[in-house]
Structure 1
Amino acid sequence: MWNYSFILPDFIILFTFLVFYFAHPRLPIKLNKRFLQILITNILVLFLDVTSSLTLENPEYFSVFFLRLITSAFFITFLLRIFSFFIFVEDVLNLHFPEKRLKSLIKHSVFIISELIAIANLFTDTIFSISPESVYARFKFYNILYVCAGYYLALTFIILFRQRKNISKYDFFSALAFNAVLVLGYTLRYFFPKILIMNLFSLLAIIIIFITFENPIYFLSSKAKAFNKKALHAILKEYEDKKNPLIIAFIIHNYNELREIYSPAQMDQGIFMISTFLMKKYPRLLRFYLRDGQFALIGSNNSQSDKIREEISQRFSQSWCAESDVDLYLEAKFVQFASNLDFSNSKKISNALLSALKETENLESVNILITDETLKGIEETTRIKRAVEYAVENNSVEMFLQPLMDSKDYKLAGAEALARIRDEKGNLIPPGLFIPIAEKNGRINSMGEQMFESACKFIHEHDIAKMGISWINVNLSPIQFLRPDLNKRFSKILEKYHVDAEKIHLEITEESMIDYALLQKQIQSMRSSGFQFVLDDYGSGYSNVSRLKRCPFINVKLDMEIVRDYFNAPDKILPTMVQTFKQMNFTVTAEGVETLEMVESMKNIGCDFLQGYYFSKPLPAREFAEKYGKL
């Protein structure tokens, strides 16, 4: 006699999952299809487990052939359930063996052999036997069930641990958890065969899968009848093998400002109405609401892209009635993909789409077309991001030094420390490319601190006075300048290398002067520790002479653009400005001097220091020391 205690609750819960599956919107992706397959397989196994057990307990009512048929069907589906859990991990998490033929052999061989043995039981005794008297008994190949289960569970763990660096920790531990539950279930079934308990552990595995991978709330936007950004990434991955899919997106222009004007509640209602319009107008397309007024439509055929864009634009030419007395007047800016693009890299396509939507706010055009060049730009940005991450994590940000020359005698007076990083091939990446990225991803703080420490270390290890250097300038980004503990952190580094603060001049750009109160507070705090400040890139931002008058800078560096503009078209503005700075007790540095004529021109208008390629390009710290240490 078998113990059926766990059967009814198992069946009720599985059926509830099945109803819940069809009651919510689902993406047509492999993840959901595999989960549905697991649900149906487990319901079938549960039904056949009960049916075969009951018939075997009451053999007098059934023929030997029927008993053999229903029991064989159970073992066939039992093996299919084993395989379906393995396929879920292998396909959904994209964990594959690299060799296709070997992968196929490893993946299918044991399952096929096991199923053939189970099917053969219809005609002869393999897994079980049924005597002419309808007595059921295990037969010599019965343990193929555990061999098959053990094989695919072992294979799952091997793949998971081999590929753990290629998936998120969350996915890794989730997959590990439900497979560990299955291991426990098969172990208990082996030692307690009369208790129909394996279905319970399969159900527990399904619950873990649902919580971690399948809960529809993870893929739905709470503000609209649409899928969210996570769902977008998932569907684009499914579209990697499709040619010329339809991907059209748009953003509500000035969304955040309009949200303040109309109120959040009215804008949320507007978002809902836009989503409803898209659902009714394009029922066959997948609808996504990404965030901050960003929508996307995805389908399999790009031929209707222009037509759809025109139809949506036409609808936006009318108001959206949020309430009976409120009309929302909104403008949509569009992003489309060129028809000849390669969609095989879903991550690249997703990044391009989200980046383009963000950039539309700064463009006058209402339509952005993503081309191969756009994707190359995204790929280049990704490459630089990796280089920034690697440089910061491995403390490999290099310090280059560019000399600052005294305009009186053209002798070395100081130097500016400049950060440099390299790509995977060892080539230098231009600072104009990696600095903005480091500022956006928050790595600029660590990078700036590494540069400050490198400058202190250089001063500690070299006789800079012998070189003619009185100070080294170190740049502070506006983001770094906001740190309330900046003074404390830099002071500790000075103490570590026994360097006087007066030998380090901190350069800040005009962007840092937007919040004047914070600027004053931070400068005063750091000046109390002996730090001195230089205003960098004057003329490229927000500052004016009146504000500079109240700031304790010791030097103002003229941006290279205004230096070049003056050299190309001399006027009285820059000379007057330089003299004004000198009367305010600032010294003045001209950046970007590249010719003797520019050097003499800047000297003649009163600049105290000169910096540029005429004297030297930025040099690696070691080369700088070798060149100027011999003077």
Structure 2
Amino acid sequence: MNFPVKEGVYHVLTAIGVPNIHFFLAAIPVQLILFFFYLSRRQLPLRESRSFLVLMGWNMVIFLTDLLLVYTDSMGRKEELPFLTLFFFCSVLLENYFLFYYFCDALQADDYGGKRIRWIAFLPVAAGILYFGEDSMTGANLLELALLFREVNLVYLAFFAGLSLILVWLRRKSNSFRRNMGFAFCLLVLLFGLWGRLLFPQVLFAGCFFTLASFILYLTVRNPDFYLEHQTKVLNKAAFHLVARDRIRSCGIHGLGFVIKDYEEGRILYGSAFIDSFLENIGRFLVKEFDGGDAFYLGSGRFFLLFRRKIDGPEEADRLHRRFRKAWTKGERSAFFDICCCSLEEGLLFPDVEELMEVITFAFEVAEGVGQEDFIIGRDYQAKVARQVEVRRLFIDSLERDSLLVYLQPLMNGQTGKPEGAEALVRLSDGKGGLVPPGEFIPAAESSGSVAILGLQVFKKVCAFISQGGMDRCGMKWINVNVSPVQCLDRNLPEKLESIRKLYDISPAFLHLEITEQGALGPGGLEQIRRLRKLGYSMVLDDYGTGRANASRIKSIPLSSIKIDMSLVRAHFRKPDPYLPSLVNGLHDLGFTITAEGVETEDMVKGPRAMGCDYFQGFYYSRPISMEEFLEKYGTK
């Protein structure tokens, strides 16, 4: 090449901003520290990690080129300056492209045209390189070329930053708030630098603002510490989401998980510090033993291993079991842990990481069951989870529209055989004329944290039914409404119930509140019962006999009635013994009225009646039916 330098070298360098190196020199140590610190940390196994490293590395290349240009000029080696200047032109254009390339990897741009979008976006860069290279070879004025490059570079930076900003907007819903803000601030800093370059063309802003943008990305998005679980020293749940999303789109999901059995119980019995002190040992073992996979800790004693290749799930699980049969040691302490493994069936496809997490969470809950052995997560699990997701959607939609149904099941007087009260039970429509079983949507309510809202909606519908004369038409004295253990944690529960009751202007004596042993004996349960009793509500203990409550404990609870769980009633009629009669007599002696739940035959009514049960509830009399059907069956015109 022959570069005729028709103008002074100083003017050429001034045109591209090299002599004014104050910002430039300040940015170099920051970029170096960031670059080497990033290399020293464990990186996520993602294309995003590699492309961010390329972006920082290329920024260093430009810094070195700038230094070499200044050095070459100061040494008077003008024959080398044109080559370095051309290399500088190419490097800066490529840096703009590498910025966009990083955003493509970080924001899954392949969904918007695959690899073609990267090649199309590279065409302006290739054209720019060819143009400046050809002009240099044909003897163009280097000063004029440098001035032109300055303007062209600003256009390129604005173009690629704008494209990246569009990607951030398109992907805003699939990223966390922190990542979105990091991406946005990075690009705004670059655009601000572009504006500064226009105002002060002789000041070298570009390198400084690119370094600042990299620093912002590191602090908000790429900091490896964000994705490290510090107890186990393996990757955390946030990292799992990112890596799994990348694998779903590239090589598919291959892996297995395992849970430490009775992990939470162990933390209670032996102390959380003692149990958690062994997690780091487990994490180190996983990283060392499964070097072909990436280990993640998902919390609560749950681990998952992701691989890029197909694996033999049972074989990998056996490797885990062999190690867990030995003691884990930490200094002078040692512990044994039992685990249950669940491996993904090969060929299992997931449309997104959210469905994968649902499947894994469901499998972990199964794995934690008593006596559960290793199993494979197959299409049956996937179908069950899909059903759960659909039920949750139906439930949340019904909750938002206040369209959940309230059914009533009568509580029959043991002497008259007529309904003296009823229990209000919530039901969910499947949108096709049928009902979703309570066993499906109640867990959805609990997992979504909506049980408290559900309870208040049921209470409101019951109050409306009573105020409209429904209870009087059926000759009843009260209706039972369930209060969940979650509601018992709400210190404002009595005030919320009272505001609804007063709105419908009915007496609290018409409302009996059912609470389970878990709620009554749990945090705040006894205090809530006492406050509600003072307001005039009768309190009923539901499902007695399935928990830890005994006669000595319930004597201290201000209850008016106790419902004996159907499991005790059915067990008595399968194999009669003195336990149930003695229980009924003992509770009567304490002053409680007794309801036998789950009665399904005439014998199951006669027996408890002879024991002294006051009320009966079960399919023998009626299944839960809608309020309209209840009025037709038991009401008077």
What TM-score, normalized to structure 1?
0.84
Quote the Cα distance in structure 1 between the aligned partners of 2:243 and 2:163: 27
Among candidates 203, 216, 230, match of residue 211 of structure 2: 203
- Matching residue's letter, 1:43: M
Partner of 2:456: 449
Matched, 1:560 2:566: yes
Quote the Cα distance in structure 1 between the aligned partners of 2:78 and 2:225: 48
SS in 2 for 1:62: coil
| More deviation, 529-538/563-572 | 563-572
Matched, 1:81 2:89: no
- 1:88-167 to structure 2, matched below 5 A, reads 88-94=102-108, 100=113, 104=116, 109-124=120-135, 131=140, 134-137=142-145, 143-167=151-175
Partner of 2:479: 472
CA contact (8 A) 1:513 1:542 kept: no
Matched, 1:540 2:543: no
| More deviation, 52-61/432-441 | 52-61
Q: CA deviation at 1:46?
A: 3.3
Q: CA deviation at 1:506?
A: 0.2
- 1:1-16 to structure 2, matched below 5 A, reads 1=14, 2=17, 3-16=20-33
CA contact (8 A) 1:356 1:368 kept: no
Quote the Cα distance in structure 1 between the aligned partners of 2:107 and 2:56: 18
Quote the Cα distance in structure 2 between the aligned partners of 1:201 and 1:384: 50
| More deviation, 467-476/375-384 | 375-384
| More deviation, 314-323/202-211 | 314-323
CA contact (8 A) 1:487 1:525 kept: yes
Cα RMSD of the aligned pairs, angstroms, is 3.8
| More deviation, 424-433/4-13 | 424-433
Partner of 1:298: 306
Quote the Cα distance in structure 1 between the aligned partners of 2:528 and 2:543: 20
Quote the Cα distance in structure 2 between the aligned partners of 1:158 and 1:234: 20
Percent identity, aligned pairs only? Answer: 29
Provide closer, same or farther for how the CA distance between residues 436 and 282 of structure 1 changes in structure 2, counting only shifts above 3 A: closer
Matched, 1:168 2:185: no
- Matching residue's letter, 1:123: E
Partner of 1:434: 441
SS in 2 for 1:537: strand
Quote the Cα distance in structure 1 between the aligned partners of 2:485 and 2:399: 18
The runs of 5 or more residues in structure 1 that have no matched partner are none
- Matching residue's letter, 2:317: R
- Matching residue's letter, 2:127: L
Quote the Cα distance in structure 1 between the aligned partners of 2:26 and 2:495: 62
- Matching residue's letter, 1:534: V
For residues 157-186 of structure 1, give each alpha carbon's deviation from its aligned partner in whole angstroms, at most 9, with x where no partner exists.
444334433332222222221111122111
Quote the Cα distance in structure 2 between the aligned partners of 1:426 and 1:145: 64
For residues 430-484 of structure 1, give each alpha carbon's deviation from its aligned partner in whole angstroms, at most 9, with x where no partner exists.
2222223433443222221222222223323445323423222110112322433
Matched, 1:400 2:407: yes
Number of aligned pairs?
A: 620
- Matching residue's letter, 2:106: V
Partner of 1:275: 283
CA contact (8 A) 1:76 1:115 kept: no
For residues 180-237 of structure 1, give each alpha carbon's deviation from its aligned partner in whole angstroms, at most 9, with x where no partner exists.
1122111222232221102212212111110111111112232344323322333222
Quote the Cα distance in structure 2 between the aligned partners of 1:348 and 1:166: 14
Among candidates 516, 527, 533, match of residue 527 of structure 1: 533
Provide closer, same or farther for how the CA distance between residues 415 and 383 of structure 1 changes in structure 2, counting only shifts above 3 A: same
Matched, 1:21 2:27: no
Q: CA deviation at 1:528?
A: 0.9
Provide closer, same or farther for how the CA distance between residues 269 and 595 of structure 1 changes in structure 2, counting only shifts above 3 A: closer
Provide closer, same or farther for how the CA distance between residues 551 and 310 of structure 1 changes in structure 2, counting only shifts above 3 A: closer
Provide closer, same or farther for how the CA distance between residues 519 and 147 of structure 1 changes in structure 2, counting only shifts above 3 A: closer
CA contact (8 A) 1:477 1:509 kept: yes
- Matching residue's letter, 2:248: E
Quote the Cα distance in structure 2 between the aligned partners of 1:167 and 1:276: 30
Among candidates 206, 212, 225, match of residue 217 of structure 1: 225
Quote the Cα distance in structure 2 between the aligned partners of 1:549 and 1:259: 31
Provide closer, same or farther for how the CA distance between residues 534 and 22 of structure 1 changes in structure 2, counting only shifts above 3 A: same
Quote the Cα distance in structure 2 between the aligned partners of 1:48 and 1:424: 67
Q: CA deviation at 1:39?
A: 0.9
Provide closer, same or farther for how the CA distance between residues 320 and 556 of structure 1 changes in structure 2, counting only shifts above 3 A: closer
SS in 2 for 1:61: coil
- 1:229-628 to structure 2, matched below 5 A, reads 229-241=237-249, 246-255=254-263, 267=275, 270-303=278-311, 305-323=313-331, 325-342=332-349, 345-357=352-364, 359-422=366-429, 428-514=435-521, 519-549=525-555, 551-566=557-572, 574=580, 577-578=583-584, 581=587, 584-594=590-600, 607-621=613-627, 624=630
Q: CA deviation at 1:502?
A: 0.8
Provide closer, same or farther for how the CA distance between residues 81 and 499 of structure 1 changes in structure 2, counting only shifts above 3 A: farther
- Matching residue's letter, 1:22: L
Quote the Cα distance in structure 1 between the aligned partners of 2:630 and 2:340: 50
Among candidates 40, 43, 59, match of residue 42 of structure 1: 59
Partner of 1:194: 202
Quote the Cα distance in structure 1 between the aligned partners of 2:145 and 2:564: 93
- Matching residue's letter, 2:100: F
Provide closer, same or farther for how the CA distance between residues 109 and 629 of structure 1 changes in structure 2, counting only shifts above 3 A: farther
Q: CA deviation at 1:529?
A: 0.6
What TM-score, normalized to structure 2?
0.84
CA contact (8 A) 1:444 1:477 kept: yes
- Matching residue's letter, 1:228: N
The runs of 5 or more residues in structure 2 that have no matched partner are 1-13
| More deviation, 369-378/404-413 | 404-413
Q: CA deviation at 1:270?
A: 3.6
Quote the Cα distance in structure 2 between the aligned partners of 1:150 and 1:613: 72
Matched, 1:62 2:79: yes
CA contact (8 A) 2:193 2:205 kept: yes
Q: CA deviation at 1:509?
A: 1.8
- Matching residue's letter, 1:493: I
CA contact (8 A) 2:406 2:427 kept: yes
| More deviation, 381-390/6-15 | 381-390
CA contact (8 A) 2:473 2:631 kept: no
Provide closer, same or farther for how the CA distance between residues 341 and 234 of structure 1 changes in structure 2, counting only shifts above 3 A: same
For residues 229-258 of structure 1, give each alpha carbon's deviation from its aligned partner in whole angstroms, at most 9, with x where no partner exists.
322333222322466765234344444565
Quote the Cα distance in structure 2 between the aligned partners of 1:110 and 1:296: 38
- Matching residue's letter, 2:92: F
Quote the Cα distance in structure 2 between the aligned partners of 1:38 and 1:451: 57
CA contact (8 A) 2:256 2:305 kept: yes
Provide closer, same or farther for how the CA distance between residues 246 and 330 of structure 1 changes in structure 2, counting only shifts above 3 A: same
SS in 1 for 2:135: coil
- Matching residue's letter, 2:476: I
CA contact (8 A) 2:23 2:205 kept: yes
Provide closer, same or farther for how the CA distance between residues 627 and 40 of structure 1 changes in structure 2, counting only shifts above 3 A: farther
Provide closer, same or farther for how the CA distance between residues 563 and 270 of structure 1 changes in structure 2, counting only shifts above 3 A: closer
SS in 1 for 2:560: strand
Matched, 1:226 2:234: yes
CA contact (8 A) 2:340 2:367 kept: yes
Quote the Cα distance in structure 2 between the aligned partners of 1:531 and 1:452: 13
